[in-house]
Amino acid sequence: MKFILNTGRTIRQGKYIENKLGQGYAEETSLCYIHPLDLLDLGVEEGENVLVKSAVGEVVLKAMSDEGLPFGMVFVSYGIHCNSIISPCTHGTGMPDFKIHEVEICYTSEQRKTPSEILEQLGGVRYAGN
């Protein structure tokens, strides 16, 4: 199913901001909030993983129910997971569009990756001790 991706910060994300490669931050930024009726249409239960695909990439996220979202819109916190599916195009402003990306979402049995695993997949090198 197709959705409009909205992104932003959450209070829980701010709690973990000092350790962006830590477990708390990784958990908070790898959640995909979806209206419960959209979850029903997807055939996905809260807590199951979903594959979120955009024109620039794809990422596995954990589906979370949120009645506050409009039908057809999903929310993902800023972070490495979100950046995997957001276009880097800034239209000359220096800031990508974080609010208007069309994504396709489906159930997946794949596991979510940690921020370090995503960075390594992109060619990065893991910090010592992480």
- 67, pLDDT greater than 80: yes
Percent of the chain clearing pLDDT 70 (strictly above):
81
pLDDT (average), residues 81-108: 79
Residues 6 or more apart whose Cβ sits within 8 Å of residue 42: 1, 34, 50, 63, 105, 106, 107
71: pLDDT strictly greater than 80: yes
pLDDT exceeds 70 at position 94 = no
Q: Return phi, psi of residue 93, to 5°.
A: -95, -15
Given a cut of 80, is residue 27 above it in pLDDT?
yes
Whole-number pLDDT of residue 125: 78
Is 70 exceeded by the pLDDT of residue 34? yes
pLDDT above 90 coverage of the chain, percent:
48
**Which band of pLDDT confidence, cut at 50, 70 and 90, is reported for residue 110?**
very high
Average confidence (pLDDT) over 39-68: 96
Length of the chain: 130
Residue 130 has pLDDT above 60, yes or no: no
More confident position, 126 or 53: 53
Q: How open is the CA angle 53-108-118, to the nearest 5 degrees?
A: 60
